[in-house]
Amino acid sequence: MGAVEGILTGFEVALSLEGIMFVLLGVFVGTFIGMLPGLGPISAIAIMIPITYGMNPTLALVMMAGVYYGAVFGGSTSSILLNAPGISGTVATSFDGYPLAQKGQAGKALAIAAISSFVGGTISVVLLMIFAPVLASVAVSFGPPAYFALMLLGLTAIASLSEGSTIKALIAAIVGFMIATIGIDPQTGTGRFTFGSANLLDGIDFLVIALGLFAIAEVCFLVMNRRKKSVTNGKDIGSLKLSKQDAKEISGPAGRQSFLGFILGILPGAGATIASFISYITEKRIAKKPEEFGKGALKGIAAPEASNNAATSGSFVPLLSLGIPGSGTTAVMLGAFLVLGVQPGPMLMGDQPEIFWGIIASMYIGNIFLLILNLPLIPYISRILTVPRPLLISLVIMFSLIGVYAISFSTFDLYLLLAFGVLGFIMRIFAFPAPPFILAFILGGMMEQSFRQAMTSSGGNISVFFTNNISLVLIILSVISFAFPIIRNLRKKKAH
Amino acid sequence: MLKGVNRKLGLVIFLLSAGYLTLSYNLPTYPYIPVDADVIPKTLGWILLVLSIALFFAKDQDSEEQKARRHIPREDVKALLGVFVFVFIYITLFETIGFIIMTAAFVFFCSWFLGYKQHVVNALVSILFPVFLYSVFVFLLSINLPQGILPF
């Protein structure tokens, strides 16, 4: 079956009454669960698996795909409104989304996120349709050295994420990396920095760090400004109005970063998080006014949002074409396939084309539903920021605490959350930026594993990183990416 | 010697990195492993140590806004400590007393403590919000939150 014939079959499934209903249901449930504290796409898909028992596999999987990208989108809402990213893929969205919301333009921020997600989702589905069979083989050719180099490239964002002092940004990143080393070492089984506590054997969860450094630290500043009004300009808070200039401003980043997000999404292990960070720094670097980033730049919301949604579709490439889950979320998704008696992989396209193409076609419709469902809700959701500060503070703390408890069921993690909140507050007082910390924490663990795997496979020979073409190119790019902003800063200082 | 914020911060981070390095050098190592569990921590520890020295000798370049941010009025310190005490009590009693009661009490008293005067609205939000979240998590999503002393 050719691609054109295949996609027509897919649309037959997706545009049937049942197809439309299940896509709509999936997108709605996904967005709702994604907005809840602590629950991201993994929990959303896992929760939905029992509901699909006995269902038609095609419709069930079409619904699950909707749950997946709906939850990714839902996660950006708390990032923008409360500076409380629920999943790692939406951390970069909070860098500019939250400042814009604080300026009284929460509706605009959410609308840009929705539109960019739509653009990212749609462009990536087209790419998925065209390149799925070919790209899968590229993803497989990425070995540990190339992964290490990719993570390194992601980490070079630190140089761009430093607002003032580069030394402080580097210190924040190293401490973030150090936190990532806590727990059992997966290669040797050695407990590192656990101080004999069983609670630390699994390491520290991402959500504890993200909500501590961003949400709880922000709460501290809200407490200090508790007598001020919730937002500086509450009049247009829910307004979705985008001017022609705004639309023009976000169209470039949303378009460009959709391609980048899709490519990074295909690579197992990279996914939405790296995609969103790399997209954010790329836009910051090519922007005419990079100093606006971090203060509510529209491009700073459009880029990571388009990218993380495109990466979500990209992650379906290895899953559908090879049966390999590239992330925790797609691993749960693979579970859902198996529960329904569907074996994803090279044979899927030939044996069950209605499933393969049905999922792809449903994504077109799902992205439209995501936009239609969410845009009308934005004015109401945005009003959360008009809640009086004392009440908002209590609710954000509660939101963060439940978020952490719902994934770990441990009060120890709640104390840790509090500790990281204090750390985040101290860091902000002394001008240590939090983004490099969280970036290094997320990438550090993966980077260490790839490095050690590569070294083990080469018998301890470090030249493995330079003899592999992909890794060599990525390392050269990393060096340029790291050095460029530092040299630019030094030149600026000299000029002054 | 310790004049200037960067010098003080540099010293604190130097001590932290020294502590981390000590722990890293105490990690067990195994033969025939090209990169053992201690290699990355040791590398990170040394990099942090070097950075702390660099920070120690770096000039303070804080903006006026940054300087102002470091000055926290005594009243705000009290408010921050108060909120942390509330959170601490909430976490400690959360599993014993239960999600609904503790969350309702936390939201109500914390908002009151921070100066929210509309007690009726406060009470309504404090009760309805946890009940709604508890129902969604427990009954809809089958994610158990502590029921504590309540029978449901």
Map out the domains of chain A as residue ranges.
3-495
* Distances in whole angstroms, Cα of residue A3 to Cα of each of A130, A357, A361, B14: 7, 9, 12, 60
Using an 8 Å CB-CB cutoff, list chain B residues near A414. Answer: 91, 94
Per-residue b or e along B13-24, where b marks 16 or more CB atoms closer than 10 Å to that residue's CB: bbebbeebbeeb
Residue A139: what pLDDT?
Answer: 61
Residue of A nearest to B79 (CA): A223
Average pLDDT over residues B45-62: 89
Residue of A nearest to B22 (CA): A193
Q: At what angle do helices A298-314 and A271-286 cross, to 10 degrees?
A: 150
Using an 8 Å CB-CB cutoff, list chain A residues near B70. Answer: 429-430
Q: Mean pLDDT by 10-residue block, N- to C-terminus, for chain A (496 residues)?
A: 77 89 90 79 81 84 88 86 82 91 88 92 87 66 82 75 78 94 90 91 88 88 80 65 88 92 78 85 86 89 93 83 74 83 79 85 88 85 82 89 86 94 93 86 85 88 86 87 76 71
Is A224–B76 a contact, with Cβ atoms under 8 angstroms apart? yes
Is B5–A430 a contact, with Cβ atoms under 8 angstroms apart? yes
pLDDT tens digits for B66-125?
Answer: 777 788 889 999 999 999 999 999 999 999 999 999 999 999 999 999 999 899 999 999
Query: What are A150's strand-pairing partners?
Result: none
- Pick the closest to residue A378 from A97, A159, A21 (CA basis): A97
pLDDT tens digits for A271-323?
Answer: 788 889 889 988 888 888 888 888 889 999 999 999 998 988 888 887 887 77
How far B76 CA sits from the closest chain A CA (Å)? 5
User: What single string gives the DSSP state of each residue in A380-418?
Assistant: HHHGGGGS-HHHHHHHHHHHHHHHHHHHH--HHHHHHHH
* Distances in whole angstroms, Cα of residue B51 to Cα of each of A91, A304, B45: 26, 30, 10
Map out the domains of chain B as residue ranges.
5-70, 74-140
Which residue is listed with tokens 């307004």? A239
How far B15 CA sits from the closest chain A CA (Å)? 13
Using an 8 Å CB-CB cutoff, list chain B residues near A227. Answer: 115
Whether the CB-CB separation of A72 and A272 falls below 8 Å is answered with yes
CA distance A407 to A400: 11
